[in-house]
Amino acid sequence: MPWKNNSYKEQRWGFVQLAMRVQTGLAELCRRSGISRKTAYKWIARFKEDGRRGLRDQERSTDQLYNRPQKKWLDRIRRGRARHPRWGGRKIHWLLKKRFNGIGLPSVAAIGRWLRQWGLTRRRRARVRKGVTVLRPALQEAEHPNDVWTVDFKGSFCTGDGVRVEPLTVRDLASRFILAFWLLACQNVKMARLVFEAIFRQYGIPLVIRCDNGSPFGSTGALGLTRLSAWWVKLGIRVEFIEPGHPEQNGGHEQMHKVYKAENLHPPSASVRGQKQRTRLR
């Protein structure tokens, strides 16, 4: 007879009775019942050990929890984390092993899983993948005045009365002449454009303006231009951006800022007006 899905307890009991009483070979009996010899041996062994109770379904291994730490270890992990909020699984494992000799101590991976399950860990920020490296053209050499202007904002500072000042500096690379040293209230396109309009009227328009990639000169767009640098391009000026993290490519300009800081900002003037008079600039 084929093995059926319904009334499986009775079928198992009936099969065991036949196997225990009938003299027919077990292989032939399994063939008639439609089960394997492995299954037959399993039910016969369970019947001999526990009687008819052994023929009932037992819990599946997937429904059981294995390798679960004892409650005392879970409490110790919580206390260790509360005492050291910034520690992860590896350090807490070291602490518990040192204090309790490590007998029955969960692994580092297990402690990390429990910390994540309790919401006691923070996910690391995903690393930003770098884009395609863009080869920059070689920087323009300055042989004559107005070939290359270097532009930058010197770091901000406060005068004695607490007013914040943002110095905008423009320098001719060939002659090393300081074209402008304007003390502005903020770094934005509108204020910077007014400064360059005044400089262009007085000294003309250069062939190249060299600057860094920060605002208001550069942006993170496709061409790296802002409204200010796009206006320069519209006037026929070529814009050169130095490589990020390489201020030495504009080293002469940085040296000028260092000298200005040493001679005019230790300490700064009591007011913006006094600071302008000290540097003899606008």
- Name the residue ranges covered by the structural domains of the chain: 8-58, 71-117, 148-279
Which pLDDT does position 67 carry in this prediction? 61
pLDDT digits (tens, 9 = 90+) for 154-207: 888 898 899 999 999 999 999 999 998 998 988 889 999 999 999 999 999 999
DSSP classification of residue 51: G
Q: What is the spatial distance between Cα 131 and Cα 127, in angstroms, rounded to a whole number? A: 12
Place of tokens 């969960």: 106
pTM over 0.85: no
Give the SS3 label for residue 59. Answer: coil
pLDDT digits (tens, 9 = 90+) for 10-69: 788 888 888 877 766 788 888 878 888 888 888 788 888 887 777 777 665 544 455 677
**Termini Cα distance of the chain:** 108
Q: Which helix (H) or strand (E) holds 168?
A: strand 164-172
The answer to whether domain 148-279 has CATH 3.20.20.70 is no
Q: What is the spatial distance between Cα 19 and Cα 66, in angstroms, rounded to a whole number? A: 36
Q: What is the spatial distance between Cα 144 and Cα 175, in angstroms, rounded to a whole number? A: 7
pLDDT digits (tens, 9 = 90+) for 135-161: 667 888 999 999 999 999 988 889 889
Give the SS3 label for residue 224. Answer: coil
Write the CB contacts of 158 (distance below 8 Å, at least 6 apart in sequence): 164, 165, 268
Place of tokens 């070291």: 94
Which pLDDT does position 209 carry in this prediction? 95
The helix-helix angle for 8-21 and 37-50 (nearest 10°) equals 90
